[in-house]
Every structure is written in structure tokens, then in C-alpha cells.
Amino acid sequence: MSNERRGGSRRDQQGNQHGSQRGNQQGRPQGGKPGRQGGKPQGGKPGRPAGARGGAARTPANDRRRRPARPAEPPVDVHVEGGVRLQKVLAQAGLGSRRACEELIATGHVEVDGQIVTELGVRVDPATAVVHVDGLRIQLDQEKVTLALNKPLGVVSTMDDPKGRPTVADLVRNRDERLFHVGRLDADSEGLLLLTNDGELANRLSHPRYGIAKTYLVTVEGEVFPRICKQLVRGVELEDGVAKMDSVHVVQQIDDLAMLEVVLHEGRNRIVRRMFEAVGHPVTRLVRTRIGPIPLGDLKPGRTRVLGRTELGTLMSAVDL
């Protein structure tokens, strides 16, 4: 064996001895793996300084700069002396038998005024309590009702018309509640309207802050090219300002008529018709098919249906109720 190789072996042995000594200095038993103290043995890559892995080492100064943990907020007492037991209120709202509602409460599915309630003895005031089950708002006031109506052609969106024209009030004369409509459809348009006696819900659905989208199926004159759809989404200048659609796509093109589905948040008078006229495609038929999460579905013209618990809860959630 050459002197060079023998010399290399001696250097390796010396390196191993040094590593063993360092391991012993750190309290490791002899014969174990060589310990690491700020780096690898001589001849290797320089080691990482202690505390460098995962970020800077924690120091007392760093600890002093950390914000103290916020104390937990005390739970709010939602119990109303003299109120109605929560499980009875839920059962009356249609969530199942009283025993099933007790199970919902005990397993933490029910929230009252922002607080999870698991005690079966809690009483609430149905007129003022805000109750959610699995995040869905529950309407507790049995006197409040919300209807979906398929408005036919020729009917005006008002509860009273001085000109004697047919109104939506004529379509709900069999209801005892004092209802008012949410939004409008002109007499030449048809489709979904919502009627309710819940004033807060109606105000929020009409307020632009909540941005409730409305979907329409529109038939227009002429062939609608992709550039027209893009123009409607970018915005169209009208006499009362720029108006934009959220989405536009062609459903069907037959000869010189096109059927399109459009979605928009705008609530200005006759906005859909005016936008299509501005781009050279007059509307021949307009049907509103959805308001927020509520679809028109297969509801026949002139007929109504009461929104179910899930539909109503989803609608209320859409306007932060």
C-alpha cells in the first residue's frame, strides 16, 4: 500500500478519534455515533449553527415581544325566563319530533344568538331568538311566510293598480297574510317573484349591498356573436349609467332568434331589456328563472308555493340573517 493511501487512512482515523472525543464531551457514551457540535468533522461541509433549523433561536427578548393570549370570552346566557323550551320551538318549526330535537341540542347542532346550546332546559323567546341548526337559519315565527310565484304575462308587479290591470295580489287572494312582493317584473315579462310578510327579509333581498343574483332566460332578435356577450359583461352605457351582466351565454340560436341565459345583480327598471336593446338585439321574451338560491323550477304560471325550511334558511343566510 502506498504512503499516500496510508497517510489518508491515518487522517481518517484521526478524524474519527476527534469525532469520538466530541461525542463524549456532549455526554454520549463511548462507542456510539459521533456527536455533532456546530458542524461536521474537519474536511466536511460546515455545519449549521445551533438553533438555525426552523428559524431564529427563541430568546427571552423574543418571548417578551409575543402578545399575551386573549382571555376566553365568557359565554352569553341565552336562557329567557318564562320562554319556550328550545326543543319545543324546534319541533314547531318542523325539525322533527321533540325527542329528535333534543338529540340535535345535546349533540351541539343548535346555535342560539351565536352560542352553541347543549342544555335541554334552555328556554327562548321565539319572536326574538336567532336560531341556527348546522349553520342554517331557522324561521321560528310561524306567522311569517315567504312564497315563490310564477308571474304570468300581462300581470303587473304591484299589489294594487289604479288602472285596473291584473296584479300579483289577484294571484294570492286566498292567503290570509298581508304579503308584499320582492323586486319587480314588468307586465311583458314572466317568471319568478318572491312574496313575503317578513319585512327584514324583503329589505335585505332588495338592498344592493347583499348582491342577490338573478337569472333570466332571454329570447332576442338576431344572431348573437361572442363579442356581444363579452360586451354585455364588460358593461353597456345606458342613459342612467353603465350596466354590467355577471355572465351571458347562448343557449340556442335558431334562424334570426337567439335564446340566452344571463345572470346579473342589477335591479334597475327594465335593465335586461335596455341592455340588449343597446347592443342591437331587442328582447322578444324574458323569463326570470332564479333569485339567489331559489329556482323557479316547474312552478306553473299563476301558481305559488311556500318556501320550505331549507330553501328559506338558505335564502336568509344569503342576506346574513
Taking only the tens place, the pLDDT of each residue in 43-53 is 445 555 444 44
51 located within any domain: no
For residues 270 and 122, give the distance between their C-alpha atoms in angstroms, rounded to a whole number. 50
- CATH number of the domain within which 183 lies: 3.30.70.580
Residues 6+ apart with CB under 8 A from 31: none
Decide: 193 and 236 in contact? Cβ < 8 Å.
no
Residue 287 inside a domain? The answer is yes
Co-location of 223 and 201 in the same domain: no
Between residues 301 and 40, which one has the greater pLDDT? 301
Taking phi over 0 as left and psi of -120 to 50 as alpha, with beta for the rest, 53 belongs to beta
pLDDT category of residue 76 using cuts at 50, 70 and 90: low
- Does residue 155 share a domain with residue 304? yes
**43 assigned to some structural domain:** no
Q: Can you give the pLDDT at residue 8?
A: 46
Q: Which range of residues forms the domain containing residue 134?
A: 84-138
Instruction: Examine the domain organization and report whether 237 and 125 are in the same domain.
Output: no
- Residue 59: inside a domain, yes or no? no
pTM above 0.75, yes or no: no
Structurally, how many domains does the chain consist of?
3
Residue-by-residue DSSP string for 205-238: HH-GGG---EEEEEEEES---HHHHHHHHH-EEE
Quick one: 170 and 304 in the same domain? Answer: yes
- 286 and 239 in a common domain: yes
Q: Residue 206 CB: number of other CB atoms within 10 A?
A: 16
Quick one: pLDDT band at residue 81, thresholds 50, 70, 90? confident
**Grid cell of 81 as nine digits:** 325566563
- pLDDT per residue as tens digits for the range 302-321: 999 999 888 999 999 888 88
165-200 burial code (b ≥16 CB/10 A, e <16):
eebbbebbeeeeeebbbbbbbebebbbbbbbbbbee
What pLDDT shows up at residue 229? 96
314 located within any domain: yes
Helices (H), 73-142: 86-92, 98-106
What grid cell was written down for 243? 350596466
pLDDT at residue 184 in the model: 87
Quote the pLDDT of residue 261. Answer: 97
The answer to whether position 120 is within a domain reads yes
Specify the pairing of strand 190-196 against strand 283-291. Answer: parallel
**What does the DSSP 8-state code read for residue 125?**
-
Q: Residue 27 has what pLDDT?
A: 45
Cα 228 from Cα 281, distance rounded (Å): 10
Pick from 151, 231, 146, 236: nearest CA to 196: 146
Query: At which residue does the C-alpha cell 346579473 appear?
Result: 264
Q: For the domain that residue 286 is a member of, what is the CATH number? A: 3.30.2350.10
pLDDT, tens digit, for every residue of 182-239? 888 999 999 999 999 998 899 899 888 888 999 999 999 999 999 999 999 999 999 9
Q: Report which secondary-structure segment, H or E, holds 262.
A: strand 257-264
Q: 309-318 and 199-206 are packed helices; what angle lies between their axes, rounded to 10 degrees?
A: 50
What's the CATH code of the domain at 101? 3.10.290.10
The catalytic residue positions are: 186
pLDDT exceeds 70 at position 113 = yes
Q: Are residues 192 and 308 in the same domain?
A: yes
Indicate if 153 and 259 belong to the same structural domain: no
- Rounded to whole angstroms, the Cα distance separating 148 from 307 reads 7
